[in-house]
């Protein structure tokens, strides 16, 4: 696909699943101008317009009205805006996963399974102040990724979940063996943890140290990590603090 490649209105309608009437309206309100006009007034779109249309549709799916969409597109870097909305979507995915897990546990209990603790009953509905602080310090994407990690870590049937579970089991075994957090084997395991996290978000020194603190300060993360071994969240926090010193600022 090249920058000079072009698409007609009919082709854009087929690609994006919008109507030609919608495209005309977007043109009329200044939201999406065609790149050119062909014979007979036919609208011509190029790659830049397709990318802008994609952004418009993302914002529309997030519930924004056309005036608000125009303000977002015209008032800031589109890439920065997309990053913010991506983080919002990831947070929403994590929230829905937590709700789904709560419902699944409720069904399990009603069908004769283990009873939920009172913490489990309402964990999906609590707003955590530590997560809010982390959003302010490291941005919404960082916390959104970590919220996803919590759900993945609990689902060891997925590839990403099984990888993180293996890291936590390794650290739990080292802790049980009495290895100090600065031991080479422990730091190797933490390096694997950092590499895993970096598949989704690459934290520097301060952010990675803060992530370790979040594992202890945020009850959701603590419950997940300490599920492998009591006190593992503190052990991991302290090991991360050492490993983070070799990371860039």
> b vs e for 101-124, b when ≥16 Cβ sit within 10 Å of the residue's Cβ?
bbeebeeeeeeeeeeeeeebeebb
Q: What is the pLDDT of residue 170?
A: 96
pLDDT score of 188 more than 60: yes
Query: Does 13 or 132 have the greater pLDDT score?
Result: 13
Q: Give CB contacts under 8 A, 24+ apart, made by 130-139.
A: 130/214, 130/217, 130/218, 131/214, 131/218, 134/210, 134/214, 137/207, 137/210, 138/203, 138/206, 138/207, 138/210, 139/87
Percentage with pLDDT > 70 across the chain: 78
Instruction: Please report the pLDDT score of residue 172 as a whole number.
Output: 97
- Tokens standing for residue 158: 């997925």
pLDDT tops 60 at residue 198: yes
Judged by average pLDDT, the poorest of 158-162, 184-188, 232-236 is 158-162
Q: What percentage of the chain carries pLDDT values higher than 90?
A: 37
Long-range pairs for 129-133: beta carbons < 8 A, 24 or more residues apart: 130/214, 130/217, 130/218, 131/214, 131/218
User: Residue 157: what pLDDT?
Assistant: 44
Q: Is 44 helix (H, G, I), strand (E, B) or coil?
A: strand
Q: Of 173, 179, 174, 237, whose CA–CA distance to 208 is shortest?
A: 237
* Residue ranges of E strands in the chain: 6-8, 36-37, 43-46
Q: Is the pTM of this model over 0.85?
A: no
Nearest to 144 by CA among 218, 199, 91: 91
Three-class secondary structure of residue 37 per DSSP: strand
Query: Residue 203 above 70 pLDDT?
Result: yes
pLDDT tens-digit map of 89-142: 777 776 777 778 778 888 888 899 888 777 667 766 655 555 666 666 656 656
The yes-or-no verdict on residue 152 having pLDDT over 60 is no
Checking if the pLDDT of 206 tops 70, the result is yes
pLDDT at 156 over 60: no
HEC string of 83-117? HHHHHHHHHHHHHHHHHHHHHHHHHHHHCCCCCCC
Beta bridge partners of 218: none
Burial of 2 (0-12, 13-18, 19+ CB in 10 A): exposed
Mean per-residue pLDDT of the chain: 82
pLDDT at site 169:
94
What are the structural domains of the chain? 6-75 (1.10.1660.10), 127-246 (1.10.490.50)
Q: What is the pLDDT of residue 178?
A: 96
25-48 per-residue burial string, b: 16 or more CB within 10 A, e: under 16: ebeeeebbebeeeeeeeebbbbee
- Spatial separation of the C-alpha atoms in residues 152 and 163, rounded to whole Å: 10
- Asked whether the predicted pLDDT for residue 84 surpasses 80, the reply is no
- Select from 125, 173, 142, 150 the least CA-distant residue to 225: 150
More confident residue, 156 or 49: 49
Residue 114, both tokens:
């283990």
């Amino acid at each position: 696909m090249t920058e000079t490649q072009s698409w007609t209105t009919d082709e854009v309608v087929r690609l994006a699943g919008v109507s030609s009437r919608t495209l005309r309206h977007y043109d009329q309100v200044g939201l999406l101008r065609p790149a050119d006009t062909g014979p007979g007034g036919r609208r011509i779109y190029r790659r830049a317009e397709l990318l802008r249309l994609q952004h418009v549709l993302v914002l529309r799916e997030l519930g924004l009205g056309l005036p608000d969409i125009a303000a977002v597109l015209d008032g800031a870097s589109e890439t920065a805006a997309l990053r913010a909305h991506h983080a919002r979507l990831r947070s929403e995915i994590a929230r829905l996963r937590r709700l789904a897990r709560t419902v699944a546990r409720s069904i399990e209990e009603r069908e004769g399974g283990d009873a939920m603790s009172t913490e489990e009953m309402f964990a999906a509905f609590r707003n955590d102040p530590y997560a809010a602080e982390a959003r302010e310090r490291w941005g919404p994407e960082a916390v959104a990724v970590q919220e996803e990690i919590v759900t993945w870590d609990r689902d060891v049937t997925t590839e990403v979940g099984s990888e993180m579970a293996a890291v936590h089991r390794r650290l739990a075994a080292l802790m049980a063996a009495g290895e100090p957090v600065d031991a080479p084997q422990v730091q190797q395991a933490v390096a694997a943890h950092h590499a895993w996290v970096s598949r989704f978000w690459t934290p520097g020194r301060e952010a990675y140290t803060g992530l370790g603190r979040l594992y202890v300060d945020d009850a959701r993360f603590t419950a997940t990590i300490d599920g492998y071994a009591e006190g593992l969240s503190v052990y991991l926090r302290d090991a991360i603090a050492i490993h983070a010193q070799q990371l860039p600022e």
